Amino acid sequence: MITQSPTLERILTQALSGQPMSLESGVLLLDQTESEVWRDIQQAADQMRQDLVGDTVTYVVNRNINFTNICEQHCNFCAFRRDADQEGAYWLSEAQILEKATDARQRGATEICMQGGLNLEAKLKGQSLPYYVRLVETLKTSFPEIHLHAFSPQEIQFIACEDGRSFADVISALREAGVDSMPGTAAEILDDQVRRVLCPEKIDTATWIEVVATAHQLGVPTTSTMLSGHIETPAQQIGHLDKLRSHQQKMQAQGNIGFSEFVLLPYVGQDAPPALRRRVGRDQPTLTEVLHLTAVARLFLGRWIPNHQPSWVKLGVEGATQALQWGCNDLGGTLMEEHITTMAGAQGGTCLSESELQMAITAIDRPYRQRTTLYGSVA
C-alpha cells in the first residue's frame, strides 16, 4: 500500500472497506502518473475483485449478429455504418440470421447478442416495432433455450421515435417476444459536452439513462459500458462512472438486477472518420492507460457492479488477460464474429474458441468457469 501519500492510502483503504468513492477521489486516482502509485491502485483493484467475486474468471459462449450496418446516424467515431446505396452496406435476411444462430447453437452458444444500425427501411406495414418483434420471435421459435441479448438503448429510442411509442411500450413488446437482456452500449461517455462532438445525433445522457431505467424497472437487465480514450477528461470519465453507480444503487434498492456488468471499451480510431482522428490525435489509448482506468473503475463502482469485463476485440487477448489482473473477473464471450470494432481498425480478432479463452485464463494461474449471460452456471 502507498506510504508516501496518506491521502491516496486513505482513498484506497476506504474503497476496500466498501465505502463509496467520491468524484474528487476518483479523479485524483486517474490523475496519478507514477508507476509505483499505479501498482498500488492495481493491487487495490485486484484485491477488491477477489473480495467481491473470487479468483474464478468467467466467460460466455455467444455469437454476435450485427444484422445491418445501414444507419441514419453519422457518429464521428463509427467506421461501421453505411448508407443504403453505399458500397459495403448490408441488411441480413431472416434466413441469414437464422443460419448464423443455427451455427452458434451447433458450436455450443448459450447467448445471441444482436444489434444493428438504425435502418429506416427496417419496418413491417410502415412500423418499426413489428419488424424487430418478428426478428426476436423468429429466433426464439427456433431456439427457445437461447438467451437473447439484443438492442441497445439507441435502438430502443429509434423504434420508439419512428412509431410514436413510449420506451416502456417498445421494451415490453420486445421482452414479451423473447428479449432476455439488453446491451448497455451507445453510452459512449455520459456527458453531453463530449457527446455533441463524438456522437451529436445520438441520444443524450438523460435519455440513455431513461431507457436503461425503463428496461430495469420492467425486469430486463442490461450491461453498462464506457467508450474511453478519445476526447474526454478524467473528470468526465469519473462523471460517467458516477452516473452508472448512482443508477445501480437506486435499482438495487428496488430489488432489480439493473446492470449485470461493466465493460470498458477503449476507443479504436485507425479507420474512424478523419475529422475525429485529427481531433483525438491518436488511434487509441495505450494499454497502460486502459489498465489504469480499468482499476479505477473497479474501485469506484465497488460492490454495486461486481462483474467487470475487458474487450479482447479492442485490446487483443494478451491485453485483456492483463486486465484480469487490474480488477476484471470476466473475459467476455467467444463472439464468433464481430464487425463494429474490427471495421474501426481493431486487430484483436473476431472469434475466440472456448479453449483459447480457457488457455488465456490458465496462463495467469486462475481457474475458469463458463457462465450464462447473467453470470449463472451453465448446466
CATH of the domain at 253: 3.20.20.70
On the question of pLDDT at 348 being above 50, the answer is: no
pLDDT of residue 272: 62
pLDDT of residue 84: 80
- Residue 114 within a domain: yes
pLDDT of residue 337: 67
Mean pLDDT of 343-358: 70
- For all residues of the chain together, what is the average pLDDT? 91
pLDDT tens for 295-326 read: 999 999 999 999 999 999 999 999 999 999 99
Segments of 132-238 assigned E as strands: 147-150, 222-228
On the question of pLDDT at 53 being above 60, the answer is: yes
- Residue 32 within a domain: no
pLDDT of residue 268: 83
pTM of the model: 0.92
411509442: which residue's cell? Answer: 165
- Residue 13 within a domain: no
On the question of pLDDT at 142 being above 50, the answer is: yes
- Residue 134 within a domain: yes
- How far is Cα 101 from Cα 140, in angstroms, rounded to an integer? 10
Residues in the chain: 379
Domains identified in the chain, total number: 1
Nearest to 15 by CA among 304, 321, 250: 304
pLDDT tens for 197-225 read: 898 989 999 999 999 999 999 999 999 99
Nearest to 59 by CA among 105, 115, 109, 106: 109
Query: Phi/psi at 255 (nearest 5 deg)?
Result: 85, 15
- Residue 28 within a domain: no
pLDDT of residue 282: 72
- Residue 41 within a domain: no
Percent of the chain with pLDDT over 70: 91
Residues of the domain holding 208? 57-370
pLDDT of residue 342: 46
pLDDT tens for 232-267 read: 999 999 999 999 999 999 999 999 999 999 999 999
pLDDT of residue 240: 98
- Residue 82 within a domain: yes
- Residue 155 within a domain: yes
pLDDT tens for 56-100 read: 999 999 999 999 888 887 766 667 678 788 888 889 999 999 999
